[in-house]
Each structure stands twice: as C-alpha cells, then as structure tokens.
Amino acid sequence: MTGHHPLRLMTLVRFFLLLACLVPVVAEAKQDKPNIVWIVSEDNSAKWLRIYGPGGAPMPTVERLAKNGLIFNHAFSCAPVCSVARSTIISGCYAPRTGAQYHRKQATVPMPDGLKMFPFYLRKNGYHTTNNSKEDYNFHPA
C-alpha cells in the first residue's frame, strides 16, 4: 500500500483490533433489538478497506460484521474537516443550519434549543451508547 500514511493506517488497525476484542462479548448477549455498531474513521478512503475492494487492507472482523450487517456504499462527508463532519453526523443537521460549520479551533456554537443528538434517541429506545473516541462536535454548553 504505497503512498499511504503508516501512522494513520496503524491507528486504524489498532482501532479495529480493539473492536475485534469486543465483538465476541456482544455476540453472546441475547438481544431483542438489533445491535448497532457505528464505525466512523477520519482521513480514510474506501480504497484502503478490503470491504470496498480487493486492493484494500484486510480486516477480518470488520468484514464479518459487514457480511451480516449494513455497509454504506455510497456515502460522502459533508465537510472537509473532521469536527464539522462529526457535528453533522451526531446531530443529524447540516452544519451551516446549526452554525457548526467551522473547525472547532475557530469557533464553537451553543447547541440549538430542542436539538438532541443521535445517541439520545438510541438511549430513549433502550440502547446503551458509548463513544470511545472523539466527542468534540463544535457545540459548547449553552
């Protein structure tokens, strides 16, 4: 895989290895509702992942999840910087509608009144949610 940043690739590999350790625990739990594992990576490209093409890096655990799950085959980021994209995904709102269109180091904005982030709705429906990575969404407490 020439031309790729080894540090980014190693970070991605470590993340998926950690995820692989958690999959057997989740698989044993009896659930009435489907499990949701939402994997988002930054500075990534579909061409780097074998689930999107034979030239990508092999990730057997992710491939097993994908085989029995849902893969977004035609999805694009709404923003060229990570924190703006995260703000959009977690809130469900296009960043300029909430004022969160700037990179977090430039400006954060108050959470709009009444806006609940996606995990709120999952918890309301009996799901346990966690974020084991970045939580900077360009919003600050009102």
Q: Of 22, 20, 10, whose CA–CA distance to 57 is shortest? A: 10
Amino acid code (one letter) for 23:
V
* Confidence (pLDDT) at 122: 92
18 and 66 co-located in one domain? yes
6 and 51 co-located in one domain? yes
99 and 30 co-located in one domain? no
16 and 66 co-located in one domain? yes
3-class secondary-structure state, position 109: strand
User: Which residue, 75, 97, 112, sits at the end of a domain?
Assistant: 75
29 and 45 co-located in one domain? yes
Cα-Cα-Cα-Cα torsion 51, 18, 103, 128, nearest 10 degrees, comes to: 100
Q: Rounded to two decimals, what is the model's pTM?
A: 0.62
Specify whether the CB–CB gap between 43 and 81 falls below 8 A.
Answer: no
67 and 100 co-located in one domain? no
93 and 53 co-located in one domain? no
16 and 34 co-located in one domain? yes
Residue range(s) defining the domain that contains residue 24: 1-75
9 and 61 co-located in one domain? yes
The tens-digit pLDDT sequence of the chain (142 residues) is: 455 555 666 666 666 666 666 665 555 556 678 888 887 777 777 788 898 888 999 989 988 988 888 887 777 777 777 888 888 888 888 888 888 888 766 777 888 888 898 889 999 999 998 887 777 777 776 5
66 and 88 co-located in one domain? no
- Alpha carbons 97 and 100: distance in angstroms, whole number: 8
Specify whether the CB–CB gap between 139 and 87 falls below 8 A.
Answer: yes
DSSP 8-state code for residue 3 = T
57 beta partners: 49
The number of C-alpha atoms within 13 Å of 79 and in the hemisphere containing its C-beta is 21
